[in-house]
């Protein structure tokens, strides 16, 4: 059993895609064991994306992620880290497979609807960044 962090990014929430993303998790047998809507300030977004500090898009990405509410979730299941990333599709929507969230809805490499942890180590850091143990129903 694995856990992973999913975020519906500010563009996804603003475009009314929250229900659509949740439906894709539920219809793929992914269990949601925690969920909340948050609005990050710039420092909180910078802390979350600290691994990307040296990337050229860091300031644009953190401004975007702090531009409005996000929906954060902890997902649980077998291979759920890879499974979630499969449902999300490639970072660049133009390279994402047909039927993935990013291919179906994204129109921008940065504003790409969803975030998903990419390894057990990042999943552990990222779930702990937003949720304490009392908020996870698992
Ligand atoms: P992910 O794991 O698929 O989300 O991709 P990464 O970890 O490589 O990047 C994190 C996030 O940074 C992506 O989801 C995008 O929102 C953003 N991002 C990645 N590459 C670029 C880029 O080349 N330009 C811009 N502006 N944003 C990017």
* DSSP-assigned states of every residue in the chain: -EEEEEEE-HHHHHTT-HHHHHHHHHHTTPEEEEEEEE---HHHHHHHTGGGTTSTTHHHHHHHHTSS-EEEEEEEETTHHHHHHHHH--SSTTTSPTTSHHHHH--SSS--SEEE--SHHHHHHHHHHH--GGG---
pLDDT in tens, 69-106: 999 999 999 999 999 999 999 999 999 999 999 999 99
pTM to 2 decimal places: 0.98
By alpha-carbon position, which residue is closest to atom 28 of ligand 1? 110
Respond yes or no: is residue 52 known to be catalytic.
Answer: no
In Å, what is the CA distance from 99 to each residue of 9, 31, 96? 19, 20, 9
Residue 92 token pair:
């660049």
In contact, 123 and 4? CB cutoff 8 Å? yes
Q: Which of 88, 89, 91 to mutate to test the pocket of ligand 1 (most atoms within 8 A of CB)?
A: 91
- Is 6's C-beta closer than 6 angstroms to any atom of ligand 1? no
The DSSP bridge partners found for residue 14 are none
Q: Kindly report the CA angle at 38 between 48 and 1, in degrees rounded to 5?
A: 65
**pLDDT for res 69:** 98
**pLDDT for res 138:** 75
pLDDT mean values, one per 10 residues, the chain (138 residues): 98 98 97 98 98 97 98 98 98 98 97 98 98 94
What's the farthest any 2 CA atoms get from each other in the chain?
39
**pLDDT for res 82:** 98
- Is 60's C-beta closer than 6 angstroms to any atom of ligand 1? yes
**pLDDT for res 41:** 98
**pLDDT for res 121:** 98
- Is 63's C-beta closer than 6 angstroms to any atom of ligand 1? no
- Residues counted in the chain: 138
Q: Which of 12, 45, 61, 105 to mutate to test the pocket of ligand 1 (most atoms within 8 A of CB)?
A: 61
By alpha-carbon position, which residue is closest to atom 6 of ligand 1? 91
Q: Alpha-carbon distance 123 to 128, whole Å?
A: 8
Ligand 1 atom nearest residue 60's Cα: 26
């Amino acid at each position: 059993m694995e856990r992973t962090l999913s975020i519906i990014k500010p563009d996804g929430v603003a475009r009314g895609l929250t229900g659509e993303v949740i439906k894709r998790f539920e219809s793929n047998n992914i269990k949601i064991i925690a969920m909340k809507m948050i609005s990050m300030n710039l420092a909180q977004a910078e802390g979350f994306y600290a691994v990307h500090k040296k990337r050229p898009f860091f300031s644009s990405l953190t401004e975007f992620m702090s531009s409005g509410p996000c929906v954060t979730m902890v997902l649980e299941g077998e291979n759920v880290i890879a499974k979630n990333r499969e449902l999300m599709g490639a970072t660049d929507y133009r390279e994402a497979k047909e039927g993935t969230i990013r291919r179906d809805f994204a129109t921008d490499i940065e504003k790409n609807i969803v975030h998903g942890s990419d390894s057990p180590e990042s999943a552990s850091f990222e779930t702990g960044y937003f949720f304490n143990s009392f908020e996870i129903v698992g």
